[in-house]
Structure 1
Amino acid sequence: MVRKKKMTKKQKQQRIQVSVTAFLIALAFFIGLFFGDNPYDADYFTDKWQELTREWSTYLPRFEPESSSNGTIRFFDVGQGSSTLYQSEDGTNIVIDTGRYDDSDKRIVSYLDKYIGTGGKIDLLIFTHNDADHIGNGDLVLEYFQVDEVWMNGVDHTTRVYEKLLDAISESDANYYEPNAGETKDIGPFKIEVLNPQESNRTTDHNEESIMTRTTISGTSIMNSGDASSTVEKQIVKQYSNLKADVMLVGHHGSKDSNSTEWLSAVDPEVAIIQAGLNNSYGHPHEETLERINHQGISLYSTMDEGTVTVTVEEDGTFSVNKD
């Protein structure tokens, strides 16, 4: 169990507002002294306060309340594949990847039936890249659920799984979009920051063009880097001064060719989750990756050992990790 406390943006804004209020009170007091009025006269103080607040309201910053909400992020056990569901208490649903194409149990559909409801709404469906262990069953998700928007990286593939997915997108009512690094999107209480692909440095490599996102709710952030290699990780570390995230989905199912020391240090998560299949043919997660994570002092969970891993975020910014 991991829990943390932090001052939320809302709390910081409230602290600023208190400071501004104190400043106005002091200003009213000294104006009263300057004009010779009795600063201790209640009626005078009330009149001056109303006058000042009317005048200063034009110049003071307007603080919008932070879009805070309880949230749940479920890293599904889909074997040697990847699929994650982000949910908030207001009903916002974001799905990143849809598991393996050859999953005979179609677990992703069962999971979404359970947590969203059959035929329910998915606000955003992100396919990090077009490998079959990430877009598998994507066509079924689009068929059985109401998907508002789909993100893909734009790198074409020749597989039948990819073709079926494109057909399903075309037949759906979902909007289609290819995001680039530097873009942000607010969906309900979630803020999504796109870190990759790099528009100025596009390739035809499916993994390197993975849509990498940092998603934040109530001050807690989750990093998903798809299957991008350490080469891309290091480029992004050089480009961005702040990559800190509280929770990280371990890149490329724990491959030694991802999850570089530089990346782990920059993201510096409290918790990391590996999505990999038991006794998979790739040997994921690789021992080198586990050693790097352990050296960094990161709490590690794995779907191959613990089933679906759930991160629950409270409105005050604390979070906890549970396993099925």
Structure 2
Amino acid sequence: MKLLMVWLALSLFSLNETASVPDEIKKIDLNLSEQEYSVTFFDLSEGEATLILSGDGTAILIDTGTDKSKKELSRWLKLYGVEKIDVLVLTKFNMTIADNVKWAVSDYNIPFVVAGKSLYQNNRGFFDDLNSTSVKIWKTGTQEIFSEKVGFQVIHEDDSQENGLDLIIKVAENRLLYLTSSAKVSAELVEGVAHEHTNMIKADPGSLTVETIEQIDPQTVVLNRNSRKSAGLLEKLHEQWVKVYVLSKQGTITAKFTEKTHEVFPINNHLYQQK
């Protein structure tokens, strides 16, 4: 882990607090062994995107940002050395995302795009036009393994304005709860999974409540953004000694996973500490 941190300190010298990626930076080498994995949560000016990499070279992208953040995502993927993506998982979809999906499928030779059943049915014409790729349809309860030890479980799927595809992502023995739906839906989902240990939660502040945090008791929480409404939530997280990372404030972060543990590297924050 220390080797990675030193490399980042030297290589990201020009990174700034915005979501943009400077031209001077050429590559971020995570130096993953065959038994290591990484999950990177990109800080984009609009929309979301998460990249999962395994030591065997498998690359999984969750969402693609929007048309306004396409160049940012492209540059981040280049920095992380991604030339091909094995699977694209879409948690939500609208027309600001459509062009990015087509671009990603084409430029990164993606053989499979995953969509929730409702999302697929409501946008079937779009998916039918993706002639060069296969569409996998997930419904609540679907489980699928990508790479040797990266698995997905769908705990909820919807295609309404406030709700989307909610997932449990298992990386080796680590569990990541990936929430995209409203706080009301998320609270109901948590009741069914709270008995299993969860290392990390990725969510929008609108998807979490204090009660949800108390039930799950995660080690790490990654939030897309901060808001006035999330003040009480953040206070509770700190009281419980949960590590909190807000992408809109701290920038892109990478979590590096071993068999049973993980360590988080806030890319921008680590740089600032070196100045």
Superposition TM-score tier, normalisation by shorter sequence: 0.7 to 0.9
Q: After TM superposition, give the deviation of residue 185 of structure 1 in Å.
A: 0.7
Per-residue CA deviations over 1:110-162 (Å, capped at 9, x if unaligned) read: 222232433x1x222111112567767222211211112112224459xxxx7
Residues 74 and 309 in structure 1, CA contact (< 8 A), matched pair in contact too: yes
Residue 233 in 1 paired to residue 233 in 2?
no
TM-score (norm 2): 0.73
SS in 1 for 2:129: helix
Equivalent residue number for residue 82 of structure 2: 117
Equivalent residue number for residue 160 of structure 2: 205
Residue 308 in 1 paired to residue 252 in 2?
yes
Residue 185 in 1 paired to residue 144 in 2?
yes
Q: Write the mapping of 1:44-59 to structure 2, written as runs, cut at 5 A.
A: none
Residues 127 and 134 in structure 1, CA contact (< 8 A), matched pair in contact too: no
Equivalent residue in structure 1 for 2:169, among 209, 215, 238: 215
Residue 176 in 1 paired to residue 176 in 2?
no
TM-score (norm 1): 0.63
Equivalent residue number for residue 249 of structure 1: 202
Identity across aligned pairs (percent)? 19
Query: Would you say how many aligned residue pairs link Structure 1 and Structure 2?
Result: 233
Corresponding letter in the other structure for 1:309: I
Residues 218 and 317 in structure 1, CA contact (< 8 A), matched pair in contact too: yes
Per-residue CA deviations over 1:2-39 (Å, capped at 9, x if unaligned) read: xxxxxxxxxxxxxxxxxxxxxxxxxxxxxxxxxxxxxx
- The structure whose residues are more often strand, as a share, is 2
For 2:104 and 2:228, locate their aligned partners in 1 and report how far apart those are by CA, in whole Å.
26
Residue 71 in 1 paired to residue 24 in 2?
no
- How large is the Cα RMSD of the aligned pairs? 3.0
Per-residue CA deviations over 1:253-278 (Å, capped at 9, x if unaligned) read: x23xx20223222332101112238x
Gaps of 5+ in 2: 2-33, 268-275
Corresponding letter in the other structure for 1:217: V
Per-residue CA deviations over 1:144-186 (Å, capped at 9, x if unaligned) read: 11112112224459xxxx79x926x723422212212222111
Per-residue CA deviations over 1:48-74 (Å, capped at 9, x if unaligned) read: xxxxxxxxxxxxxxxxxxxx8200111
Residues 187 and 208 in structure 2, CA contact (< 8 A), matched pair in contact too: no
Gaps of 5+ in 1: 2-67, 198-202, 278-282
Distance 1:240-1:74 versus aligned 2 partners, 3 A rule? closer
Greater mean alpha carbon deviation, residues 175-184 or residues 108-117: 108-117
Residues 66 and 96 in structure 2, CA contact (< 8 A), matched pair in contact too: yes
Equivalent residue number for residue 259 of structure 1: 208
Distance 1:77-1:141 versus aligned 2 partners, 3 A rule? same
Residues 51 and 62 in structure 2, CA contact (< 8 A), matched pair in contact too: yes
Residues 86 and 111 in structure 2, CA contact (< 8 A), matched pair in contact too: yes
